[in-house]
Each structure stands twice: as structure tokens, then as C-alpha cells.
Structure 1
Amino acid sequence: MHAVGNFLADITEWGWDDAPARRLIFRTDLPRAQRFLPRYLPVDADRKLTAALSDSPYRLAADALLVQRACGLRIGELLDLELDCIHEIPGQGSWLKVPLGKLDSERMIPLDEEVLTLVDRITATRSPGRPMRHPRTGAPADFLFTHHGKRLSQNAVRSELNRAAETAGLGHVTPHQLRHTYATALINAGVSLQALMALLGHVSSQMSLRYAHLFDSTVRTEYERALNLAKSHIGPMPTGRTQLPITDITDGGWKDAPAIKSRLAGGYCLRAPAQGSCPYANICEHCPSFHTDSTHLGVLAAQRVDAHDLAEDAENRGWIDEAKRHRTLVSRLDALIAQSETA
């Protein structure tokens, strides 16, 4: 598109007879460049890399990377930290002062005891020496990461990261992925967009919103991983719990009970409206590991009838979310039944 647009502009400027009489290609006609989501480390890979860095014999570079992961710093911001970067604020704990970086923004990041211990270890490991000229201001500065009278270089940090990633059995990892991993962990923990902007030093909400788009894919990955793990570690069911005090429930009458209801494989579940829907109700039918065949068509059909009746019952009682849950289950059962019939 760019090439064609430039060609048409050139022949118009050159006065060719075949040049179009008016402009044909506009800026809005150009396709948007693909925007790649930030590459974060999955939880298991993050833990393996952290363990490899913690056991590294190259302490200064390894600890620098641990600080970057714990605070979400850019590599330039990390290596520009000075000895007095830790600030104690009365009543607010310890904070890391991040120097001016890529976007000329200075910020403060709250620290926990683990990071404070890490910084103390770095202070003891680094090589003391005379202040060095700051590349941004030109003023003498005592940098946190110094080794044999020189500043720790980006190449040294990247080399240590490559070594630790290989030890952990991971592929190629970049220092900026540690920042992405920090941001992804925060957004999945429910940190607000405004807080994320402040912690990452973003001057535009669009920069932080990239991490919000990670939410669906990250949750899906973690959901499937946790679900498979839970299936392999199912413990005994709790005993001694009192049941919902609903009496006179005859065969089939449970569907008319004034409670939130779910049809299960071997029975049914009744919950008081104040308890809300059970988060595990019908989870198996929606699980990607769930499989069925034509021998279970009778069970699936009966479950569909019950789910349809329960959806209407919930709608009549004004339980919109509960009705929606049953309608979603009906759609899922329709798909499973159709799949079983064609198998």
C-alpha cells in the first residue's frame, strides 16, 4: 500500500499522462501494523528462572535481574540505580526511587522485606569506589551496580540471564520480559490501571492497557493448568457440613425448591440464594478435557431438560445471572449432544 501510494504521488508530481486526476490512497487506507502483546514468563517458568538466579555464582548480575523482576524496571533504569535509591517514608514503609528513564519519568515503587534484603546483599557484593560521571546529568554519582571500579554493563546482565535461562531449561529470555512478567502478575492480581501506570512509569493509559489485553489469554492458560493439577491432587471431600434445610422434596420436586439449583451426575445441589452460585457447578461440562460419546446421550438429554427448566425457574425468580448460567449450560449440552450423534 505504501509503495502504490508513493508511486501514484510520484507520477502525479512528474506530470505523467496516466496519472490519476485525484488522490486515490489516503492514510486511513493503510492497514494497521500488528500490535504484539507483551511477552511474559508463565508462572512455572518464572519460578524456575528465579531459582536459577538465586543459585547463581555470579551474584551481582543475578541479583540485578532479581531486582528487575521484583520491581518491573527497564534495564536502563535498573543499572542507573544509585546507592541512596531506597527511601523510608514514615508510616508508608520502604520505597525504591527509580531515576529518570526512557520516558523522562521519575517514580517510586513500594518494596517488601525480600527486596530490601536483596538490595542489602547487592550493597555488600558491589565493589566500592569513587563516584562516576552520570551519563544523563554529568554529575558524579555512586551507582548501586559497580564491579571493579566500573559500572555493571547491560551485556553482563544479559549474559547472566542467558546462563540462568539455560540452567532453568527455558528458551531465550530478554530482560524486558521480566518487566512484562511483573506487570502481568499485577494485572492478574487485580491492580487498577492507574496503579499499574504509576508502578511502570507509563505516561499514557494506552501503554498500560496492553497488559489488560493479556488477561483473557493468561486466565485461560492458568485455568487449564490449575484444573489439570487439581484433578491429579483431589483430596477427600469435607465431611460434617450441614445441608440446606429444605424438606418435602419428592422425586423431581427439587427443581421447584426456592433455592439455587444444579443438576449433577449423581444427584443435585441446592444452595441458598444468599450463597450465590457454586463456582464448581457444571465445570466439567465446560472443561476442555471433558469427553463424551453416544452411550451417554440419554444422560446428556436428561441434563439438558433439567437445565432448561432451571433456567426458566431462575428467570421467574429474577435471578438473571443464575438463568444465564443455565442457558450457557444448555448451549454447551446441545454442542456435546450434536458431537456425540455425529461421532
Structure 2
Amino acid sequence: MVLAAYEEHLAATGRGNPAYTTAARGFLRRWPHPLDWTLESLDVQLSAGTATRPFITFLLVTGRINPGWDYLVHRKLSSIWRDVPGTRIGTDLQEFITTARAQGYTQRTASAMASQVLARLLFATGKRLHDLSEEDFVALAIAGRDRERDTGRTWKHYRGAATATRAVLFHMGVLPALPPPAQSRWSYERRLAAVPDPMKSIIIAYLHRKAVTCKEGTVSSLATRLTGFATYVTGIDATLTPDRLDRCTHIEPWMTSLTTTRSTTSAAIITRADQARRILAVSNFLSDITEWGWPTAPTRKLLYRSDIPRLPQPLPRFLAPDADRRLQQALEDSPNRLAADALLLQRACGLRIGELLDLELDAVIDVPTAGSWLKIPLGKLDTERMVPIDPDILALLDRITATRSPGRPIPHPRTGRPADFLFTAHGRRLGQNEPPRVQ
């Protein structure tokens, strides 16, 4: 019965190679009940030849087997598209792709997410699309990390695809929450791995204490700056602790080294502003642990206000009229409409970047006898204001509304309340440093 169904499937997909049928017969002689194959070792499962793999794919897409995660994360599934039409898995994959396309993903990217992530979830669990859960993604992530550990082959690309898949499923109403970004920050222990103890343990304890009162991004920046400092001074003395720091032996040579220190991202020498931030971070670290009474705190002041480099303070420069016209035209001609229209709206209404990205779909208010106004949400000054808008800006807002990705309300990053943000791409609110990419 299974063999007859497979032969019918081959004919429907335009494949009639006798080797496929012969391989399927050999498979069924060894495992008359295909589910017994799923109990074999990973080595046995992966040993299937090129003539046998199409039969295993047929068993997968027709729901006859649900192998373990270890097989699914080792097996490539790029060829499943000719096998899924007419199956319930094919229906689920197509529904997902349709939603992903509406979120702004290209057909190629949406199909890749479906085959790389969603298909594996459906094959492993035997569930339908709308029955998937967060726990299923956790199981996939664990299997991916295990594969990375055992083979050395990175799981980074699949991790990013899984995050994007979860975001699409959130907007489909399948998952309850929008996932965190795929690129999570390294732990403090990993970031300070090159710093020997006891200095490493002291700085890690300090960062955990700062995390109580500071935002995650602030503490992450502190970790970067203190790591550079600790790496330098422990290079002079590996057993160093803050109470044994010396101004002439450690602090001044470190400050001098900052003038030739290169950025880890651009490889350029760091700016005076970055030098100032690094010195200020170390100064605050030493002052804080002294104020808190830590036993390893310095016994005397080591850094002073005069140690912080003076920064140039140039006056703001306006754009010349011809440069402004060129900028306007470049934005009008840009193929990346959402980002370009965001800048056009910011320019027209005089918005700060945070105010722009916090705009919601209901930001336009029509006032009888007074025209249309744009309600600017609470921003840097913690106040709301209204900006009058003309028909051209209304048309611009309509274009943005048509370009943004639709979906469920997204939790506001500050308040946590659900919000229909005006600027969303791929199901997420745009960030200040993350312009939408064409995918």
C-alpha cells in the first residue's frame, strides 16, 4: 500500500526512475513498518543513498513518519517543494508563505524560512501549523545547538530564520508573543574571558549590580569599555585588583594607549568621544565600588574630571538649498520606500527619531474647521504636541500605511502595552539603528 502510494506520488511529480522504486522496496524489506526506521541510530538514518532519500521525503510529507530532531537538523530539505503539493503540510507551508509575503519578505526568503524551519517543525511534531507552540521552537533550538557542538557547523543562519518564522507565526495568531531578536548579547563571562581573575570576577559582579538600575544596553556598553580597560591593566599584572591600581603604573599608561586604540568594528582609531566614554566608565566603576564599600575598592582617587578629553563642539550646520533638493529627490527615488518615506515624514514634521518611530496608525487627527494634525507621542522632552499637516503629508502617510507590514499589535518597548506602530517591517517595529532590509 505504501509502495503503491509512492509510485503514484512519483508519477504525479514527473519522476519515474526505476532506481527510486527499487530503493523503496529495499527500504520496506528492511523496515516493513516505516516507523521502525525512526528508532534507528542517526548514522543509519543518514546513510540512506540518493535513491532512498526521495522515499524518506515522501514518508515525511505524507505524515507517515516523524523522525527525531537530530535527523531533521542534519538532513537538508531544500528539495521538498516538488513533494509537498497536495499534502496537508504543503497547505500549511503555503499559508505561512502567504503571510510572510504580506509581512514584506520576498518569495525566496519566505520559502527558505518555510523549508528550513517550519517544515522541520511539522515533520518532527506531526502537528498542523496552528497547533505549533513555543516549546517546539525550543526543541529545534536545542537540536541546532547540539549539531553545532558535534559537527562545528554553525547554526547561526537557522537561528535567524527561526526567529523570523516565530515573528510571522505571532502575526498569524499561532504564537502568543513576538520573539526576542536572534542576535542575543554575549554573557559577561564570555565577554571578559580574556581577563584573568580576580579582576574578571570583580567586574562581572559590578555589571550585575548595575543591571539592577540601568538598561540592558547601558550595561552592555559598560561591559565593552571595562573589558578593554581590564585587558590592558591585567596585561601589566595578571593578579591586579582595583585596590592595587596605581595612577602612574596602570591608569596613565592605559589612558595614553587610548589614543592609538582601534575600534573592534571599524578597525579605525577610536574617536575622542569614545576615549572620553571609556575613561568615564572606568572612573564611575572605581567611584561606585568605593561608595558601595567593596573590600577591593581603591583607597585613593585615581581619575579626575581633567582626565576626560575635551570634545569639539561645532555648531550645527544647515543643508544648502541645492543639497536639500538633492536629498529630497534621492528619497523620492529610493527603492526602499519605508525607510525613505520615514525620513521624508521626519523632515516635513520636524520629528526626533524616537518620536518618528513611536508614531502609531491613529496618529492623524482631523479637527473640524482646523484641518488635519499629526499627534506626536511622548518623546525626549516627555511631552505630546500636535503638528499641522497638509494634503501632501497625508498622501505620504497613506503611502507609509500601504508599505508597512500588517499584523497584530506589538508590545511598546517602554510601556509594554500593545501598539499598532506606523513603521513596521517584517512584523517588527523599526529600530533607530536597524533600517529595514530588502529580503
Aligning the two structures, in what range does the TM-score lie when normalised by the shorter sequence? 0.3 to 0.5
TM-score under structure 2 length normalisation:
0.28
Structure ranking higher in strand proportion: 1
Higher RCO by CA contacts (8 Å cutoff, separation 6 or greater): 1
